[in-house]
Structures are given as structure tokens and as C-alpha cells.
Structure 1
């Protein structure tokens, strides 16, 4: 099943009240309104895009080891997925889908990392729960997301709803600000230039990981030429 089909099925079950946490009509309206406002803001169109030079970053992995984008790119292209956190079921479905295509990404000489504002213990939990063999790097205070232009502040009514859902972002992220990255996926070539960018302010829509493979094939062809 394609990733978007899984996301659509989850959304239908959640909004249809088929989980223990049954959202009210008011809660759904708040969520839909926040997404519509983020779309209308145009921020996604201002984020880093294909052809731009990617910001350099050196976050830490869940074991506290620094991971440099420059070092990763020295080995080959880099697939970068921005991940909201362990609490987000849509994000977890995406990580699982990326894990499924990881062998094909690696076969094309590329690395895959996720990057998240959450704390290292939460990233370790994400890796265990989703059975990941690629790292989730810590984006402290969402500074890397800001460099890519995808960090945004949650509106007050959505903050109140997250608190009601016990999605306590300041605790998850060890950051008092209620900010998140928009879901985004990038492929960065060894030259540091972004070869592929997908940023969507609607967190319920994600591109299929298979979309990455032709991009990586093109980068391999350019290297071989």
C-alpha cells in the first residue's frame, strides 16, 4: 500500500472517531483551520527548494554524537526527512515507509537521516517503535528547520488543543516555544545543492518514498558522466 493510502486510512479512522481518543467537531475544525492558515501563509513556497544550496548543520544523534551534514555528503547524496515527533502517527507512518525503501536508497550510494526537534530519549523511542535502522537527529529549538525555512509557530487555539490531547511539545522537545517543522523531505547532492524538495504544510499529505529513487538515479548518472 502506498504511503498516502495509509495516511488517508488513518485520517479517516481518526476523524471518524474509531480510536479511543475521539475528536469533537470543534477539535477537528481547529485542526483544519490551523492547516488552512499555514497553507495560506505561503511559507512552504518560501522554504528551501531544489536548486538552492542546503544549509549546513551538525546536530546530534540519539547517543549524543555530533553528525555533520558535510561529513555525510562526503560519502554520497543525503536524503533528509523532517520529523515532527514520536507523538505524530502520520510522521511515524512516513518513517516506516522510508525504512522500507532504505535498502534502495543505500544501493544508490545515499544516506538517510530524519531530523526532529524532540529530545534524544524520544528519538530513541521513535527508532525502537518504528524499527528504524537510520538515525533521528536532534534539532535543538528547531534551528535547522528554521534554516530550511520550515519552522512555524502553532496558533493559540491549536496549542490549547494539543494540551488537551496531552501533546506537550515543550516537554517532548525540551523547548518552551510551541514550534514545529512542516513535514519536508529533501535530497541533497554531494555538492551541497538541493536536488529534490517536498514541503507540505498539510501534515496529512506526504510524497511516497519511491519518488526519491529517480532523483538518486539522476545524481548517480551525473557522477558517472
Structure 2
């Protein structure tokens, strides 16, 4: 897979400052909200058009209290307008603190790779079978798995979604653990370890909690 961006922000580097609109209200969410107060688990997702992101948001919501118990706060960034996110989460409430970044500015700041969309990559996606959440009867080609998961979840794409697909795809997703001083202590980039078979997967709860405990120590 060819990446069109530099290497992501790595452990030991300062986390880039950010200030993004909150989904829950009119305030802004920034790295300064956590600096000096709490480590932060930062999850960077794409738009709600992405079935893997929608599933990951559910997983992160279930993990949030476990992270808080070890002293780490959680922030998920969704790449859609605040109003669109508010409508979605009105019907699918979450405990997560959420920020909106439809233009993927935070992905660029953290240098999260965006592969180049080529005929070769599209062919690889058709040939790569995935079952990232373990609930499909068998692994399916990536595009088919996305469609089936969307249908299972009863999600219908909107014109807003389609516009975001055009702007965002195939941006990768990422998670970072940032300490109280604003230094990245752990990072996980989608597909970095497994290649295309890693699409849609979050690290296990055990891996994330282990990184959280080390960051909060």
C-alpha cells in the first residue's frame, strides 16, 4: 500500500495542538483541555459514512469507563459536521466526548497516512477478505464487508455522507495515547502492522488499557 503522507507522529514526539468544535455543544475541544490534568486516548476516525468507524465508536464507548478508571480520558474525532454528528448520536447515544473535524485537519496534523487511490489498490481491496468485528459468517472482500455491516446496522447513507466519502476516502484511522505533558506515548495506525487485512480493526481492549496504564503511571 503506497502512502501519500509522511510518517505519523510517533511515541516521544509532542502531540500537535488542536482545537475542534465539540459535538455535544458549542464549545471547542482542545489538547489544552487535558494538558497538565490527564493523559488522553485520542481516536481519529473518518466520517459516519464509514461502517467500520461507526462500529469502532460503539467499542470505544464501551471502553471509555475502563480508561477513566485508570486515569485516562477519551476523545474521539469524527470527520463530519457537528450538526450531522449530533443528529446521528441523538439516536445512538454515547458516553464518548466527541469532536468534529470534517476536513481531516487533525489527521494531517498527526500525519496519519492517506493511501493513494490507484487501480492496483482497488484490486487489492477486492481481493482482501476481512471480518474486523467477528460477526460475519466468513471474511468478505473489503467493499462487500463494508456493505454487509452497513446493512446489518440499518444505516442508510445520506447526501452528506456521499460528499464526505468523495473528500475523505481512503484516509486511514489512528489512535494515540498522549501523556499529561502533551507527549505521544503510544500510537496505532490502521493497516500499519497487517496491511489491508487490518482495515476496520481497533487494537484489543487489553492493548489499549496496557498503553493507558503505562501513560498514566
Q: Normalised by the size of structure 2, how large is the TM-score?
A: 0.69
Given candidates 63, 67, 72, the residue that maps to 1:110 is 72
Corresponding position of 1:87: 49
Deviation larger for 182-191 or 195-204: 195-204
SS at match of 2:103: helix
Q: Does the C-alpha gap of structure 1 residues 96 and 107 become closer, same or farther in structure 2, counting only changes over 3 Å? A: same
Q: Does 1:187 align with 2:177?
A: yes
Residue deviations 1:3-45 (CA, integer Å, cap 9, x gap): xxxxxxxxxxxxxxxxxxxxxxxxxxxxxxxxxxxxx214587
Matched positions, count? 176
Q: Does the C-alpha gap of structure 1 residues 130 and 197 become closer, same or farther in structure 2, counting only changes over 3 Å? A: farther
Corresponding position of 2:14: 53
Corresponding position of 1:219: 215
SS at match of 1:136: strand
1:1-225 correspondence runs (5 A): 40-42=1-3, 46-62=7-23, 63-150=25-112, 152=114, 155=117, 171-172=160-161, 178-180=167-169, 181-201=171-191, 202=196, 203-221=199-217
Gaps of 5+ in 2: 123-142, 148-155
Q: Does the C-alpha gap of structure 1 residues 207 and 176 become closer, same or farther in structure 2, counting only changes over 3 Å? A: closer
Q: Does the C-alpha gap of structure 1 residues 118 and 195 become closer, same or farther in structure 2, counting only changes over 3 Å? A: same
SS at match of 1:46: coil
Aligned residues: CA RMSD: 3.0
CA distance in 2, matches of 1:204, 1:86: 13
Q: Does the C-alpha gap of structure 1 residues 128 and 75 become closer, same or farther in structure 2, counting only changes over 3 Å? A: farther
Q: Normalised by the size of structure 1, how large is the TM-score?
A: 0.67
Gaps of 5+ in 1: 1-39
Q: Does the C-alpha gap of structure 1 residues 135 and 73 become closer, same or farther in structure 2, counting only changes over 3 Å? A: same
Corresponding position of 1:35: none
Higher relative contact order (Cα pairs below 8 Å, separated by 6+ residues): 2
CA distance in 2, matches of 1:208, 1:128: 27
CA distance in 1, matches of 2:85, 2:179: 26
